[in-house]
Amino acid sequence: MSESPLRSQFRNAYRNLVLRPLLEPEEVRRFKVPYGEKVLAKLEQKIDFALPGSNNKMIFTGHQGCGKSTLLGELSRNLKAAGYFSVSFSIADLVERSDIDRIKILFAIAVQLMATAEAEKIEIPQDARERFYNWFAIKTQVNLAQKRAELGAGFDLFKIVRGKMQVDATIRQEIKEEFERNITELVDRINEIAEIIANATKKDIVVIIEDLDKLDIGDAREIFSERVKALFQPQFCIVYTIPIAVLREIDIRRGLEMETNNDKPLSLGRGIWGEGQGLG
pLDDT in tens, 220-265: 888 888 678 899 999 999 999 998 888 888 888 888 887 777 677 7
Q: What pLDDT, on a 0 to 100 scale, did the predictor assign at position 105?
A: 96
Q: Report the pLDDT value the prediction gives residue 94, as an integer from 0 to 100.
A: 93
Q: In what order do the strands lie in the sheet with 85-90?
A: 85-90, 205-210, 237-241, 57-62, 266-268
Domain boundaries, the chain: 5-268
Give 144 or 273, the one with higher predicted confidence.
144
How many helices (H) and strands (E) the chain has is answered by 12, 5
Return the exposure string of 67-106: e unless at least 16 CB atoms fall within 10 Å of the residue's CB, then b: bbbbbbbbbbebbeeeebbbbbbbbeebbeeeebbbbbbb
- Percent above pLDDT 70 for the chain: 85
Q: Is the pLDDT of residue 19 over 70?
A: no
Residue 208's SS3 state is strand
Looking at residue 146, its pLDDT comes to 94
The whole-number pLDDT of residue 16 equals 67
Give me the pLDDT at residue 21, please: 62
pLDDT tens per residue, range 174-214: 999 999 989 999 999 999 999 999 999 999 999 999 999 98
pTM of the model: 0.85
- Comparing C-alpha atoms, which of 90, 89, 102, 96 is closest to residue 167? 96
pLDDT tier, 37 (very low <50, low <70, confident <90, very high otherwise): confident
CATH of domain 5-268: 3.40.50.300
Backbone torsions φ then ψ of 83, nearest 5 degrees: 100, 20
Question: Average pLDDT for residues 113-128, to the nearest whole number?
Answer: 96
Least confident of 1-5, 138-142, 264-268: 1-5
